[in-house]
Chain A
């Protein structure tokens, strides 16, 4: 060893424990161990303290009967179901309002963001007023406003506004016929799926042909025709396997049919309008970030303003918009928990509200609720990051 060192004079290797890589690994492991220990201590402590104070712990309560009713449930539920089921009911209600809210807020946001940049003075002023007003009023106030604004002027069930003998609007909600699927309806569903697949193939073929030959194809019309036509044809061939359950007035409320409850409507309107303002601003900043030269170049090539926006500006703007959009989607989802103020039975109202209170198992219930919001948020983030990467790659 000593000989070799003299032959090849290289700088003496630092002692094992003095190497930067080893050191940093060591300290990082120490840090992780510390955090794990910290978490474990808190967990043990909490358990110990709760036991000492006679507070029951564990997840056994999820299997006991809930014993209370819930206003709106997407899956069968009544007071004989378990607390575990109340978790599912609340979760689905949260997912419903969050996903509908994301769709509406995105539509409103894109329209308003583009409008604010419009050359039409009135349109751009209107968009500006919308954004400045609704962005600056606290969301909770807006929710309350829409709720009582929706509720107050509507008549009671016995004086319902009736449209076409099928839609009934009153202060208990908007009642409409609900479909009853009869034998053979599954074929219609299959036809729909086939049509969607076919539409995708057509779109691909049209795109390739346009790339190769420059010939455009009316993909949109073809797709609409397929997706509507094929299931409709199947439906008629199967002898219309569908009937309707009509809402009817009973002594106090409407019975039968489906209902959109005012709590859902108010929450959805408030969330979409509020979040729409932020999305509009994101869209505006995204469009402004695309250099004006792009527009001029597109115009020089003879593209009209519509296609310029659609084919040149928006795809480039999206790269700026998407990350901001992600955080707005996350905000909307988390804000949907304000539902509890107006009685919309979301996860926080049902599970972290009534269930927590009836069982007293705050730690378990809150842990589960937080885990859900974390999971939803992470899924949205992952999806949006994936989408973001995809459109980034298109860059040439």
Chain B
């Protein structure tokens, strides 16, 4: 009789599982928990990496912080889940994390059949190659027959195959789960080249035994628009993430930064007044407080500040703005207006 009892309760449990309502649930859940659970990389300097004390920082981390600032008025209310490339989508699909901000490329497959929504692009990237200077290679086209260290479950794996097929060259992939192993294997000479998104090559180079002995080749073989992702089915949450990023971009465009946001409160420019929640729609459409964007700018900064601090001149990576400059400064970063 006991057995039957167990089965009955198990069946009841599944019945409960089947009736899980979905839309709008993430924001409620986040508010109830009191923090945003954000998926990041396992450690990629400049994008998402933790210091000895376990404090996360980076350009991708700043998107998580911006969302927390918008929802709670406190950018610190984030908990991080380090994920390898392989683990990241399952973590999002299963609801283990509320959002993913981990140098993830926006592609048709991912957007259309993995149950994901890409909320925007926080870094325009492209795939590149890193080799040791000793190898004496100047261009990727000289790499016929070489071995490549790559990470499993990335667009990198696919682009590499495409590039060598298109150029009628042969290659050997050596595929690892985590970026640490990938770098270590490259460092021990298992492969001739390490290939990944170019920004990540600069970040991973710092982790090499002798960073100066490595060289990033000039070729960029793919488009890698990297951005934050949410699970499909919760439009409300998706829009909060998307507009948190847009607020950072609009702030840069309007010249509002963490340093001057207090003075800007008294600006008479209607664009700035709308951004800072003094007139217009404010936070209402997103279900957020009126000062949602103000909090993002105060606590995280605008996009330009975040860029320079994490990957630009204020960081060890010293990456130029390039394609990631604003649209009116010759780059691709463009956010719809707040009005």
* A interface residues with partner B (beta carbon < 8 Å): 27, 30-31, 34-35, 37-38, 41-42, 45, 48-50, 52-56, 67-71, 79-80, 148, 151-152, 154, 156, 171-172, 250-253, 255, 262-263, 340-343, 345, 349, 353-354, 356-360, 362
User: In the complex, what's the smallest C-beta–C-beta distance from B265 to chain A, in angstroms?
Assistant: 41
Q: B4's contact among A30, A70, A341, A342, by CB below 8 Å, is which?
A: A30
A354 pairs with B189, CB closer than 8 A? no
Q: Size range of the interface on B? A: 35 or more
| Cα-based distance from A388 to B89 in the complex (angstroms) | 46
Q: How far is the CB of B239 from chain A (nearest CB, A)?
A: 17
Distance, CA A205 to CA B238, complexed state (A):
79
CB distance from B201 to the nearest CB of A (A): 19
- Across the interface, do B17 and A71 meet the contact criterion of CB distance under 8 Å? no
A-B contact pairs, 7 of them (CB 8 A): A49-B18, A54-B114, A55-B114, A70-B175, A151-B189, A341-B177, A359-B109
| B185: Cβ under 8 A from any A Cβ | yes
On chain B, the residues within 8 Å of A255 by CB distance are: 145
Which chain A residue has the least Cβ–Cβ distance from B184?
A148
What CA separation (Å) do A391 and B98 show in the bound complex? 58
Q: Is the CB of A54 within 8 A of B233?
A: yes
B145 x A250 contact (CB < 8 A)? yes
Closest 8 CB pairs of A and B: A357-B153, A360-B114, A55-B115, A79-B161, A34-B7, A56-B113, A53-B115, A252-B146
**Do residues A357 and B190 form an inter-chain contact, with CB atoms below 8 A?**
no
Pairwise interchain contact A354-B152, C-beta atoms closer than 8 A: yes
Answer whether A341 and B14 are a contact pair too, CB < 8 Å, given A69-B161, A69-B171, A151-B188: no
CB contacts under 8 Å to A, within B1-39, are 3-4, 7-8, 10-11, 14-15, 17-18, 20, 22
Let me know if B4 and A31 touch, CB within 8 A. Answer: yes
Residue from the list B109, B110, B157, B233 in contact with A52, Cβ < 8 A? B233
B85 CB–A CB distance under 8 Å:
yes
How many residue pairs link A and B with beta carbons under 8 A? The number is: 156
Q: What's the Cα separation between A339 and B324 when bound, in Å?
A: 39
Distance in angstroms between the alpha carbons of A354 and B14 in the assembled complex: 31
Q: Is the CB of B175 within 8 A of A71?
A: yes
Residues of B within 8 A of A79 (CB): 161-162, 165
Contact A69 B147 (CB under 8 A): no
Whether A156 and B232, one on each chain, are in contact in the complex, defined by CB atoms closer than 8 angstroms, is no
Residues of A within 8 A of B161 (CB): 67-69, 79
Contact B14 A68 (CB under 8 A): no
Establish whether residues B110 and A360, one from each chain, have CB atoms under 8 Å apart when the complex forms.
Answer: yes
CB distance from A162 to the nearest CB of B (A): 18
**Is the CB–CB distance between B232 and A362 below 8 Å?**
no
A53 touches B157 (CB 8 A): no
A340 to chain B: which residues have CB within 8 Å?
A: 152, 177
Contact B189 A35 (CB under 8 A): no
Query: In the docked arrangement, what's the CA distance between A357 and B173, Å?
Result: 17
Are A360 and B113 in contact, with the CB atoms below 8 A? Answer: yes
- Report the Cα distance A42→B16, complex, angstroms: 11
Whole-angstrom distance from the CB of A54 to the nearest CB of chain B?
Answer: 4
Given A50-B115, A54-B113, A55-B113: A362 and B17 interface contact (C-beta under 8 Å): no
Question: Contacts of A250 on B, CB cut-off 8 Å?
Answer: 145
B219 is an interface residue with CB less than 8 A from chain A:
no
The listed residue with most A CB atoms (<10 A of its CB), out of B112, B143, B184, is B184
Residues of chain B in range 111-159 having any CB-CB distance to chain A below 8 Å: 112-116, 135, 143-147, 152-154, 157-158
Name which residue of chain A comes closest to B188, CB basis: A151
Residue from B109, B112, B174, B177 with most neighbouring chain A CB atoms (10 Å): B174
B4 touches A68 (CB 8 A): no
Question: Which residue of chain A is the closest to B193 with respect to CB atoms?
Answer: A252
Q: Cβ of A55 and Cβ of B192 under 8 Å apart?
A: no
A263: chain B residues within 8 A (beta carbon): 174
